[in-house]
Amino acid sequence: MNTRAVIAASWELVPRRYPELSGFGLFREIIKGALRDWRLSPKELDGLLCTPAGGASGETDAYVHDKLLSELGIHPTFCETLSLGGASHTVMVNRAATAIREGRASAVLCISAGKFLKPSAGGAEIQARMISDNSLEMPYGTFIPALYALIASGFIAERGLKPEHLARVGVSSRKWALLNPRAMMHSKGPITVEDVLNSQWIAEPFHFLDCSIPTDGGGAFLVTREDLAKKYTSQPAYILGYGEYHARGTLSDPGDPAVDGPSNAGAQAFRQAGLTPADIDVVQLYDAFAATPLILLETLGFCAPGTSGAFVMSGATEPGGKLPMNTGGGLMSFGHTGDSSGMSPLIEGMRQVMGAAGPNQVTKANRVLVHCYGGMMFDHATLILGRQP
């Protein structure tokens, strides 16, 4: 029960369209790349966590773990397919670490892959049905940008935010993507606040450049006992704090999805880590749309209520700023990889702590906070990683 669990390695597909690969085909590619680069034999694994395949196409496969067991030829003592949307991957870290601390596993492979079905192929309706109430929301033609717009509009009105504040979030993400060769928008050049505000409307208050970039992708990471991690890295990512909170089941349920989930999950993580927001060097905040990082900056305690707009306008979240945010480009400029969308901010957080981020490495990244959520801000998970235990 005293065994410490750490993150020992990560691997990620370059985000792009993979028309030649099925949802499960992406899983195969990730496994092949991860095992090769980590120089890991499947026989070393006694734990496996994964997400479903095919969710974006409406044909969800909830038995991916069984298929992966066959592919790998292993018989783990700890294994499941876990489905919490964008929060799944951050939750995986805690599930794997708990299993290791309890002696039920020593090396757990966590893996996810996703494809983003195009709206013209029915993707918009499939995605809306996955997270909408059938009686109170679907009959009115709901779709994901519109649901996010409802959350954002309430928060913007309450906190006094402006369109320029949302736009600056996209500008910040693009600046980080220009430093990251793996990002979808790496070669697209910088954008300005004016570019964002002049792009087409999607669902008010969101312009086109306030939205994340749909793509395919995925990745994997390895959680092991601390003594085993040295085989894979000289600098593991230590798990300092974790919090989880499930705020609601649909957007029509009572409560405030913008506040309840992140404030509760964040408080748990800070309490477990014995830290405060002032102790964090870098943040990775799930950014399906430009409003959500502003919401999370305030509800996690990095900004006082109503001040997140001025905070991002100051350049604080950009390269060289006092709180680097979404340093790989975020979902808005790295790419929103369908069912595996929460994997990229998590892997970027790991890389920053492990000093393995490459050209977009932050000089001081001793403690990194990752916050991801699933559904319409339904399921929340906050993880704090560090270079030292």
> 3-class SS at 175?
helix
Residue 59's pLDDT is 62
Q: What is the pLDDT of residues 32-41, one digit of tens each?
A: 999 999 999 9
Per-residue pLDDT band at 134 (split at 50, 70, 90): low
Residues 178-199 as b/e (b if ≥16 CB within 10 A, e otherwise) read bbbebbbbbeeeebebebbeeb
First to last CA, the chain: 16
Three-state DSSP class for residue 259:
coil
- Residue 130: pLDDT band by 50, 70, 90 thresholds? low
SS3 string, 96-151, reads: HHHHHHCCCCCEEEEEEEECCCCHHHCHHHHHHHHHCCCCCCHHHCCCHHHHHHHH
Whether residue 241 is predicted with pLDDT greater than 60 in this model: the reply is: yes
Higher pLDDT, 375 or 204: 204
Could you give phi then psi for residue 284, rounded to 5 degrees?
Answer: -120, 110
Maximum C-alpha span of the chain: 56
Q: Based on the number of CB atoms within 10 Å of its own CB, is 19 exposed (0-12), middle (13-18) or buried (19 or more)?
A: exposed
Q: Which domains does the chain have, with CATH numbers?
A: 5-118+215-229 (3.40.47.10)
> What are the distances in angstroms from CA 87 to CA 123, 214, 261, 377?
21, 18, 11, 9
Q: Indicate if the pLDDT at residue 20 is higher than 60.
A: yes
Read off the pLDDT band of 62 (50, 70, 90): confident
Whether the model pTM is above 0.85 = yes
Mean pLDDT of the chain: 92
pLDDT higher than 70, residue 251? no
pLDDT digits (tens, 9 = 90+) for 254-311: 677 778 899 999 999 999 999 999 999 999 999 999 999 999 999 999 999 999 999 9
**According to the model, what pLDDT value does residue 176 have?**
98
